[in-house]
Amino acid sequence: MDDLERALHAAWQVRQEHFAPQITFSYPLDTALVSLTGDQCGLQCAHCGGHYLCHMQPVWSAQVEGAPSVLISGGCDFQGRVPVTEHLDQIREISQGRRLNWHVGLISEQEMQAIAPYVQVVSFDVVGDRETIHEVYGLDKTPADYAATYAMLRRYAPVVPHITVGLRGGQLGHEQPAMDMLAQLGLEALVFIVLIPTRDTRYADRSPPEVEQVALLLAEARQRFPSIPIHLGCMRPRGDYRTRLDPLAVRAGVNVLVSPSRAAKEEAEALGLETIKTTECCVFDQD
């Protein structure tokens, strides 16, 4: 039995001990996507380059009728902050009768206080080493800055930390320190996403991390956080990559899988898991 098989076996045992035999498959089509900055971003990060903002509605013209929830995001300024206090009139209107999930970046406590009445959950990207922060975001920040912001945000709203596997151009390195940080500060759920080499970005010609590396990290996280819901989120490569990764993620004991491949569904059935389907952003799905 190789290292991955041993890790998957151990992770599955932990999952069985701490969770019911259920898995949530999330299809987040009912969560509207709204950007506070349109398609503009000051940072133009190596892995995104503002590309994903183009798939969101600008807040000043957003149409969210019929959506039970909304993801509020946007581009960052040169300090890594999303301008969350802009367009509060529109946010107030959007929030009526809806749950809001925010991407906020490294905002201040004053800014968080201003938006707190409209926040149901914050999705916060945790980065575990300075070199990754500098290379990917171009920020003169440290993991301590991320830790301080994360701790502050938790005083005002539920926060679901996100770790991007292979964030530094497909290389692993920051993920374990990020988990160390979260183990020290505390967490109620954890989302993993995976680098997608994206056209017209600085990482366009890179490769995502090896599937086996991601699966091993998921298995380690399951053992490290035995009673915390672990998600494999929507941002991960599609096609053959997802076909290979998703069933391994099921075996690694994830609780929530977004837009699962057919292979993941088959693996869940083979393992005797009852499947629960949801239609909103996965951070609203807590086992």
**Total count of domains within the chain:** 1
Distance between alpha carbon 209 and the CA centroid of its chain, in Å?
16
Assigned domain for 134 exists = yes
CA distances from 30 to 27, 33, 123, 140, 251 (A): 8, 10, 17, 37, 28
Residues facing 171 on adjacent strands: 168
Does this model's pTM top 0.75? My answer is: yes
138: how many CB neighbours lie within 10 A of its CB? 15
Range of the domain at 195: 30-245
What is the b/e burial string over 20-31, where b = at least 16 CB atoms within 10 angstroms of the residue's CB?
A: eeebbbbebeeb
Tokens matching residue 250: 């099921």
Assigned domain for 250 exists = no
d(CA 107, CA 153): 9
pLDDT tens for the chain, 287 residues long, are: 589 999 999 999 999 999 999 999 999 999 999 999 998 888 888 688 777 888 899 999 999 999 999 999 999 999 999 999 999 999 999 999 999 999 999 999 999 999 999 999 999 999 999 999 999 999 999 999 999 999 999 999 999 999 999 999 999 999 999 999 999 999 999 999 999 999 989 999 999 999 999 999 999 999 999 999 999 999 999 999 999 999 999 999 999 999 999 999 999 999 999 999 999 999 997 64
d(CA 89, CA 267): 46
Assigned domain for 20 exists = no
CATH no. for residue 127?
3.20.20.70
